[in-house]
Amino acid sequence: MAGNGENPEIVFRGKNVSVKLRALPDSVPVRIMEVCGTHTMAVAKYGIKQLMPDTIKLISGPGCPVCVTPVEDIDQIIDLAAAGACIATFGDLMRVPGSFSTLSKERARGRDIRVVYSPLDALEIAARNPEIQVVFVGIGFETTAPAVALSIMHAKSRGIKNYSVLCLHKTMPQALRSLLDGGAGIDGFILPGHVCAITGIEPFEFLSKEYGIPGIVSGFEAKDIVESIGMIMKSLRYPKVDIQYRRAVKPWGNRQAQEVMEEVFETSDAVWRGLGLIKNSGLCIKKEWAEYDAKNRWSRWKRSPFAMKSGQVEGKDHKAENRQDSGTRQKSTQFYSKCKCGQVLTGTIEPFECPLFAKVCTPENPAGPCMVSLEGSCAAFYKYGTWKINVRRAHHG
């Protein structure tokens, strides 16, 4: 990438940070992608993207777990709530649009949908209310999966029978492979510190060994991110996967958390918004723990691939609801089809290039998950005003 000749160095100075970045010829820009929602927010907050030399282009990738959750999964959660399940979920999932509704709107309609801060909170709801079926929505990457696995283990040890998990967890390495195989043109990755604190760096070493590009595990302060960019630039000629965030990440990760995950979960295929079906990029609950798998427990319900055995919940006429929802579903689908979250997540476009951004899609009225989640690229661009800078550049350049 860097060529044979020596190039001058650019000294990047910000608050409490000074890093030398080797400048490359203008015709060879280096594309560096971060794949962590917290990094996305930090890059926008500190204005790091705008302070980079023209030879370095920072791109946000599929690092927000809420953002990569496809519409179909949201619809399945809504269907479970309609069947009478008590849904327990993290708050940032509440306003993510499905094909015709959101969890927030369904709660307003009377569904039992509760916001929790931990899967163990959901387990306690089940323990205190044995008459209801509690379904925790397991969403997130390797960071949140151990706690979800632990909740299942605790449910079994405590004999709590009315708790199950809708496992929608995804894992990061295969998504990066999919991006590279799809021709994303990435020259280096800022790897997610929280994920690697669990997994270690071994699952990401294929980046340098198979694709010849560097990956650096970064912390979340401005200094961490800029230092990681500097490490990537230095590694372009001799790529490696390394750790900048050594105060929190060990090369081998957290072995206890890994053991808990391996006890309860196994790898599975998963659908990612913007990337489609990716082999071995998800987690599912092992057969030994099937009684706590919501998909298994509710698999005989006719309105969904994994719901309850009866097509009707007592007192609810689902056929009437379906007729009522059909028109709404069609209108919503037409509107949300204009949302470009999938292209934003793969780095194909910047948020401000979506036709809905900052016009009809705002944090108060989000059209897609990238504007809903606090870690979404669109939300970060909007909150910190970086989109205004990019729009001006586009108009004048």
Handedness of CA 64, 65, 70, 74 (dihedral sign): negative
Backbone angles phi, psi at 132, to 5 degrees: -115, 155
Question: Per-residue pLDDT averaged across 351-358, rounded?
Answer: 92
Q: Which ranges of the chain does DSSP label H, i.e. alpha helix? A: 37-45, 48-51, 71-82, 103-108, 119-128, 145-157, 173-181, 193-199, 206-210, 222-234, 255-264, 294-297, 318-336, 341-345, 369-372, 377-384, 386-396
In the chain, which residues fall in CATH 3.40.50.11750? 9-64+172-243
> Model confidence over 54-68: pLDDT tens digits?
889 999 999 999 999
Question: Per-residue pLDDT averaged across 25-52, rounded?
Answer: 87
Question: What is the per-residue pLDDT for 11?
Answer: 54
In the chain, which residues fall in CATH 3.40.50.11740? 71-170+254-323
> Model confidence over 337-354: pLDDT tens digits?
688 999 999 999 999 999
Is 173 strand, coil or helix?
helix
d(C-alpha 358, C-alpha 355), whole Å: 9
Return the CATH number of the domain spanning residue range 9-64+172-243.
Answer: 3.40.50.11750
Question: What is the per-residue pLDDT for 3?
Answer: 37
In the numeric block, the tokens 């998990």 are attached to 165
CATH architecture entry for 71-170+254-323: 3-Layer(aba) Sandwich (3.40)
Backbone angles phi, psi at 138, to 5 degrees: -85, 100
Tokens of 213: 């590009």
Question: Per-residue pLDDT averaged across 318-339, rounded?
Answer: 50
Lowest-confidence pick of 52-66, 149-163, 239-253, 381-395: 381-395
d(C-alpha 63, C-alpha 69), whole Å: 11
For the chain, how far is it from start to end, CA to CA, in angstroms? 26
What is the DSSP track for 205-228?
THHHHHS---EEEE-SSHHHHHHH
Question: Per-residue pLDDT averaged across 95-111, rounded?
Answer: 94
What is the DSSP track for 313-349?
-TT--HHHHHHHHHHHHHHHHHHHTT--HHHHHTTSS
CA distances 58 to 22, 200, 337, 361, Å, are 15, 24, 27, 23
Q: Is the pTM value of this prediction over 0.75?
A: yes
What is the DSSP track for 279-322?
EEEEEEE-GGGGGGBHHHHTTTBTTSTTB-SSSS-TT--HHHHH
Question: What is the per-residue pLDDT for 290?
Answer: 95
Per DSSP, 170 falls in state B
Select the more confidently predicted residue: 363 or 28.
Answer: 363
Select the more confidently predicted residue: 119 or 388.
Answer: 119
